[in-house]
Amino acid sequence: MLVRAVVDLGLSYGQVAARYRVSKTLVHRLHHRWLVEGEAAFTPRSSRPRSSPARIDEATRARVVQLRDELTGAGLDAGADTIHHLLTAQGASISRSSVWRILTSNHRILAQPHKRPRSSYIRFAAEQPNGCWQSDFTHWRLTGGLEVEIIGWLDDHSRFLLHLSAHRRVTGRTVTSTFTSAAAQHGWPAATLTDNGNVYTTRYAGGPAGRGHANAFETLLAIEGITQKNGRPYKPTTQGKIERLWQTLKKYLAAHPAATIGQLQGVLDAFAEHYNHHRPHRALHRLTPAVAYTRIPKATPARPDDPDLWRVRYDTVDASGKISLRWANRMLHLAIGRTHAGTPVNLLLHGLDTTAIDIDGVILAEHHINPERTYQPQRKTAEPPKPRVQPFTMS
């Protein structure tokens, strides 16, 4: 139209520019293009620049896709943040958004508009390492079909994976033994955060276990002055950090199948090494959990000076229905019952009183020790039970 006004109407560049409210330079440029190219000058042209100096080279683009496939195949995190971190460590100059665009254009990322945006979550974390440990256990199936359970202990402040192990079944004894093992290596935490399973707490247990008797784990926490925190029932997001860990772990386990518990433990050990020391964490500003766990002083519990608490020991009921207890250099035999022969028990002791609890937190027998007798019968059911001192206050 502008060119026709110059050619057919004989108007000057200035007149055409004034009539159509465009610049005279534009009219001049279009007219001269028509003089050189003829009718081809009216074909729409791309606005793409002739060169793109900042464009990511093909080798880097291929490396992005390669890393995505390698990490996914190994069951590891393979998001744009992780790949950007790895490439930057290798000396590549590329932004996180560029990595995301390359993955999207190569169909490695699919849109998930149904997912809740991260910005909508309310985040909280302990201020120091060992300020709080989260624990939970999850189920996994071995390649032979055997169902096993995996328990973990995770530092709330740094996401450092303190302990990860596989068991045929997670029991109360498993909880206390794995907790004390982690504490022996890393120190006691100031608090713990778990769900309300009987292996962690009997506060919601029905039947005999719900009479206010603490289980072995609760008693151990009270002895060490460790605050116990439990999420509300049916609110797993309270323990969100370790719940999220299971998602990451199971991707890794799916890529590294195991046929036995021993093989599975080897896979778990390799995962913990990678997770703690090599995997940068978004919530930690791309630090690894190991760095975040060691860079500031650790919190410690406030142990009570003279706790009026129950001590804990473990035993197994023998074939005659008894367990043994050394008392003042004398071996005593506590009656549990022949029906419980072979049952693992936690024995809680306070003064002359004992309570034997099975792995599910159910009370099997109670005794009032008579130091003059070797055989200790169960407390008579008709006798009112002695009031128990609550070992600690749960929050």
- DSSP string of 17-62? HHHHT--HHHHHHHHHHHHHHGGGGGS------S--TTSPPHHHHH
Q: Do residues 80 and 95 touch, judged by C-beta distance below 8 A?
A: no
> CA-CA distances (angstroms) from residue 205 to 367, 391, 393?
22, 17, 16
Q: Do residues 350 and 311 touch, judged by C-beta distance below 8 A?
A: yes
pLDDT band with cut points at 50, 70 and 90 for residue 111? low
Q: Do residues 285 and 292 touch, judged by C-beta distance below 8 A?
A: no
User: Which pLDDT belongs to residue 250?
Assistant: 93
pLDDT of residue 239 exceeding 90, the answer is no
User: Which pLDDT belongs to residue 53?
Assistant: 65
Supply the pTM of this predicted model.
0.60
Q: What percent of the chain has pLDDT over 70?
A: 85
Hey, which residues does 322 pair with through a beta bridge?
Answer: 335
Residue type, 99: V
Hey, which residues does 150 pair with through a beta bridge?
Answer: 138, 166
Phi, psi of 378 (to 5 degrees): -65, 155
User: Which pLDDT belongs to residue 240?
Assistant: 83
Q: Do residues 188 and 301 touch, judged by C-beta distance below 8 A?
A: yes
pLDDT of residue 341 exceeding 90, the answer is yes
Mean model confidence pLDDT for the chain: 82
pLDDT of residue 306 exceeding 60, the answer is no
pLDDT of residue 78 exceeding 80, the answer is no
Cβ atoms < 10 Å from Cβ of 231: 18
Of 49-53, 83-87, 384-388, minimum mean pLDDT range: 384-388
Sheet holding 147-155, edge to edge: 161-167, 147-155, 133-141, 191-194, 227-230
pLDDT of residue 302 exceeding 90, the answer is no
